[in-house]
Amino acid sequence: MAGTAPQPNQNRPMAGIALMLSAYFVFSCIDVSAKWLSLAGIAAMQLAFMRYFWHFVISAGLIAREGMALSRFGADRMALVLIRSVALMGSTVFNFIAVRYLPLTLTSTILFSAPLIICALSGPVLGERVGIWRWLAVVTGFCGVLIAIRPFDAGFHWAVFLSLCGAFCFAAYSLITRKLSGLVSAGTMQLYSGLVGSVLLAPFAFIQWQSPETGLNWALMFGLGFFGWLGHEMLTRAHSFAPASTLSPFSHAFIIYLGVWSFFVFGTLPDKWTVIGAIVISASGLTIWLRERRLARAVTHGPGREIHT
């Protein structure tokens, strides 16, 4: 249903993993489409608007099909829902600008610093205790970011700052989603993500509007919103089949997908520093995931087993 999350049935891990891998493949389609269209001269704001406008149209259409009144989609934490939507929109805008100038493998590598940012901020924002091992993983991960972007290299491009801003926005989006989990339905968050992005981006999109010159480009531009909606639906349903502790490592397939897209569509391969940085960042993220999983198991198995990770 459009207004409610799928009912939990977290005993089907293979179905959850398949949906997780599919969701990140769909998300990779957004990035490769955005880069293709931006190289064709279409402004990032126009692309971001199309991504959220059609996302909103699809979400609202599903609500109408189910015969549900929009009044049902109010939320007690509406301020957080709106801030979450703005954070997601910011992540998209920064990324769409960055992919025009940077290889997709580099932007995806930088994006995967988001779990490190989430871990660093989970203490002050969520009140979680972050131990020495996770802090070491965070520091190591940010060293991986420096390796990938090479700030003192002659080939350094200013667009990496936009990509980093996108990662911070995505981290904020993820943290707010955690706070809203169980309080606001997935359908409500889907609806407002599309609505907020559409409203805020519309003026910029119409000022900079440029019609695509080919049928393929029209299809890709209209497909941005469908890809966004479908990816989030798959992600939500994946978590209804398996817990996050099972699914999280498979999100790294996103980097592989974009590496394949980069080679076959744009004829580029990541350089050795991007590969090394991606490995360091991914290893740090997986370390954080393992420590959080260990802590969750300790809590599940009862008191007296506190672990400072």
Per-residue pLDDT for 250 more than 50?
Answer: yes
Report d(CA 47, CA 271) in Å as an integer.
Answer: 28
Q: Once rounded to an integer, what is the mean pLDDT over residues 83-109?
A: 93
* pLDDT confidence bin for 7, thresholds 50/70/90: very low
Residue 101: the pLDDT is: 93
Per-residue CA distances from 126 to 33, 159, 207, 235, 236 (Å): 35, 30, 39, 22, 21
Distance between CA atoms of 202 and 257, rounded to whole angstroms? 30
**In the predicted model, is pLDDT for residue 10 greater than 90?**
no
Res. 297 pLDDT band, cuts 50 70 90: low
Q: Which residue has the higher pLDDT, 36 or 76?
A: 36
What is the H or E stretch that residue 235 is in? helix 215-241
Average pLDDT taken over every residue of the chain? 83
Is 17's pLDDT higher than 50? yes
Total count of residues recorded for the chain: 309
CB 23 within 8 A of CB 235: yes
Task: Please check the confidence at residue 305 and state whether its pLDDT lies above 50.
Answer: no
pTM of the model: 0.83
Which SS3 state, helix, strand or coil, does residue 307 take? coil
User: What does the pLDDT read at residue 9?
Assistant: 59
Whether residue 51 is predicted with pLDDT greater than 50 in this model: the reply is: yes
Residue matched to tokens 């440029």: 210
What is the number of helices (H) and of strands (E) in the chain?
Answer: 12, 0
Q: For 154-178, what is each residue's pLDDT tens digit?
A: 678 899 999 999 999 998 988 888 7
Evaluated on CA atoms 158, 159, 165, 171, the torsion sign reads: negative
- For the stretch 114-120, contacts whose Cβ atoms lie closer than 8 Å and that sit 24 or more positions apart, written own/partner, are 114/167, 114/168, 114/170, 114/171, 114/174, 115/141, 115/171, 115/285, 115/288, 115/289, 116/141, 116/142, 116/281, 116/284, 116/285, 116/288, 117/167, 117/168, 117/171, 118/171, 118/174, 118/175, 119/288
pLDDT at 131: 72
pLDDT-derived band at 307 (thresholds 50, 70, 90) equals very low
- How many whole angstroms separate alpha carbon 278 and alpha carbon 255? 8
User: DSSP letter string over 45-97?
Assistant: HHHHHHHHHHHHHHHHHHHHHTT--GGGG--TTHHHHHHHHHHHHHHHHHHHH
Domain boundaries, the chain: 13-300
Concatenated DSSP letters for 139-204?
A: HHHHHHHHHHH-TTSTT--THHHHHHHHHHHHHHHHHHHHHHTTTS-HHHHHHHHHHHHHHHHHHH
Q: What is the distance between the alpha carbons of residues 209 and 192, in angstroms, rounded to a whole number? A: 24
User: pLDDT tens-digit profile of 167-225?
Assistant: 999 989 888 887 887 777 777 788 888 999 999 999 999 999 999 999 999 999 999 98
Averaged pLDDT for residues 107-114: 88
